[in-house]
Amino acid sequence: MQPRAHFRHCPRCGHAQSATGTGPLFTCESCGFRYYFNPTVAVVVFIRRPDGHALFVRRAKDPGKGLLAPPGGFIDIGETAEIAAVREIREEVGLSLVDLQFLCSEPNQYLYAEVTYPVLDLVFTARAPNPEEAQALDDVDGIEWLDPITLAPETMAFPSMQAALRFWQGKLSPPR
Ligand SMILES: [Zn+2]
């Protein structure tokens, strides 16, 4: 269920709501308390090494367990997307990045503990100056360096990642 559907009582006054509303705004029928539901923002990074291969992680947990995704994670409150990208990549695969550049954004959904969170994925590209330091750390089953030009988008864990990979493939040229 979307987060909105779980709000059957007002979180301020506790009043039971007669109907589950739709749309981004919750308004309490009793006290008028208002709360907006917005997407959670996440960042993922297509990281290339000098031979042109890109780093993908094999997801250790659902959603998308066993499928591939570029490394990344959720942005913390108060963080920029760029700082979150650097932090998440260090935490997840132990790499430092150079040439971090925004590529595109894609809406996504993320099911966690029976709540379907609407997500906006911010997709970046970067280079790894020390690709041999990559390792599978947080929530990662394994890491693989793959040729992004020939990689099938269907191997990605989420439709947003499939769309992002297709978009990136449209811009990539084979390494010379
Ligand atoms: Zn209320």
Ligand 1: centre distance to CA 110 (Å) = 28
Q: Which of 26, 20, 24 is nearest to 8 (CA)?
A: 20
> Residue 45 Cα, ligand 1 centroid: separation in angstroms?
41
Residue 26 and residue 34 in contact, taking contact as beta carbons nearer than 8 Å = yes
Distance (Å) from CA 4 to ligand 1 centroid: 15
Does the pLDDT of residue 174 top 80, yes or no? no
Distance 119 CA to ligand 1 centre (A): 27
5 C-alpha vs ligand 1 centroid, how far in Å? 16
Q: Give the per-residue pLDDT at 61.
A: 84
For residue 17, report the distance from its CA to the centre of ligand 1, in Å.
Answer: 9
In this predicted structure, what is the pLDDT of residue 152? 95
How many A from CA of 143 to the centre of ligand 1?
48
Q: How far is the CA of 1 from the centre of ligand 1 (A)?
A: 22
H-helix or E-strand spanning residue 159: helix 159-169
Between the CA of 2 and the centroid of ligand 1 the distance, in Å, is: 20
Residue 124 is predicted with a pLDDT of 98
- pLDDT tens figures, 106-121: 999 998 888 999 999 9
Q: How far is the CA of 22 from the centre of ligand 1 (A)?
A: 17
Q: Considering the domain 40-169 in this protein, what is its CATH number? A: 3.90.79.10
Give 11-56 pLDDT, tens digit per residue.
999 999 998 778 899 999 999 999 999 999 999 999 999 999 999 9
Indicate the pLDDT class of residue 90, thresholds 50, 70 and 90: very high
The residue assigned the tokens 């010379």 is 176
Residue 27 Cα to ligand 1 midpoint, Å, equals 8
Would you say residue 167 has pLDDT above 70? yes
User: Of how many residues is the chain composed?
Assistant: 176
In the chain, where the domains are located: 1-37, 40-169
Q: Which distant-in-sequence residues (6+ apart) come within 8 Å of 37 by Cβ? A: 2, 3, 4, 24, 25, 26, 118
Sign of the C-alpha dihedral computed for residues 87, 91, 92 and 95 taken in this order: positive
- Give pLDDT, residue 60: 82
